[in-house]
Structure 1
Amino acid sequence: MLHPPFQRAAPLERPEIRHGFFGREGGVSSGIYASLQCGRGAKADRPEQVAENRARVAQALNAPPEALVSAFQIHSAAAVVVEAPWAPDQAPEADALVTRVPGIALGILTADCAPILFADRQARVVGAAHAGWKGALGGVLEATVEAMAELGAERGRIRAVVGPCISQRNYQVSGEFRAQFLESGAEAAAFFAEDHADPERWRFDLPGYVLARLKRAGVGQAQALGLCTYGGAMTYFSNRRALHWGEPDYGRQLSAIALNPA
């Protein structure tokens, strides 16, 4: 079995931690799902191919396939403590996972939304969150940090990295969209730029907004990889790009983190 390529982040590069931000390369799916499509909810991808792709991700993290878990993501602020792997049909509805159990790989599926991986190496607690605009605005990042703290992590020791997601340049939104954020506080205006091609539209800085929420939550170190899913057609899946290209569906890439045994 070949290991698919993936991105690592320096703040998470520790002997106690295994992690990776995987893109669309290195799998077995084909067509619009080529090739490392890891979402079980893809309309027309074959389940055995998805299973193989996820197994390749798990192997790259030195974990057995059954140890790689992901939730049924619903753009919520729900964070779940993982104490043991679950069967695919038993995945909870949630958008963040945390654990202190070595060997369990926490997986997040994205296709423009932001995947965030967290770690407090001293407390040996890790987390993973899926933050689209709705989840970020609704508090999924704070919920992840709180769940980690309940397992013994300290906010100031947590390191968080925002993986590949849609960039501000490619994230056009409406005035109504912007208004929802401004209702939460005037400071949110800093994450919207005027769209000079369309005076009724704006460009939203999702990774910048996520970083601001992480810092406000007390995370000791937070950074973004600065990789755009929309602009990387050969490297990442993108929901918005698939829509603009008239494709019937889109793939999902996976980001994951796990603790090594002590």
Structure 2
Amino acid sequence: MRTLGIDLAASPPTTAAAVIVWEGSTAVVEPPRLRCTDEELVGLLAGLRPGDHAGVDCPFGWPIPFVEAVSAHAAGRPWPGRGTDSATHRATLRLRRTDLLTHRALGAGARPPLSVSFDRLGATTARWAHLADALAARGVEVERTGTGGVVEVYPAAARLRWALGSPRSMEVLLATAPQLRCEPRVQELYDRSEHAFDALIAALVARAVALRLTAPPGDEDRAAAEIEGWIHLPPEGSLPLLF
């Protein structure tokens, strides 16, 4: 079994991918792929075999109220916030349901999630939409709730759940998960690039998804998740369970 992690950015220079090959109770970390192009990412994702999983650090969609508001504006229909305070209405357009639920699960001390509507993160999601469409053209459908082999992940939240601390450190990761096999030269590459390190965490979360350690959306959240995406969050202290 292989798991693939992708730390997606709006352009290749800050996009990285990581692959872990799982062999019994151990896992071999391959060298990171840096500056990943669209073609390389589509090739990696389309090359997943049955049983493989991929975790992508990127929102898979935009908040439904934001999409509805932009669509209304484009069509010349009344703005959904008509008659309400502008700032109050804009606040309802900022975050997806999965963003709100993830922040609640992490606790008040966690950093608030970025807005895919109003922050630069939107450019990354636009790139993901392009990649997902390219995969669909090749017959690979990405189900936004993560029921397929490709799921949305949040490495910063996973590091918090696994008590890996800050800043990012391969030494800490390998001490916490000694079953990971990582050659010194490969370890150095991951330590040198925060994007590669987050891609590696994404690949570990993909393993948690494969083992059904993460929670899919419940009945009350499924309809929104099918449009907005769904962050798969590993349980606290679950890193040893991956092996």
- TM superposition score normalised by structure 1: 0.25
Q: Is the strand fraction higher in 1 or 2?
A: 1
Computing the radius of gyration over CA atoms, which structure comes out larger, 1 or 2?
A: 2
The TM-score normalised by the length of structure 2 is: 0.27
Structure with the bigger RCO (C-alpha within 8 Å, sep 6+) is 2
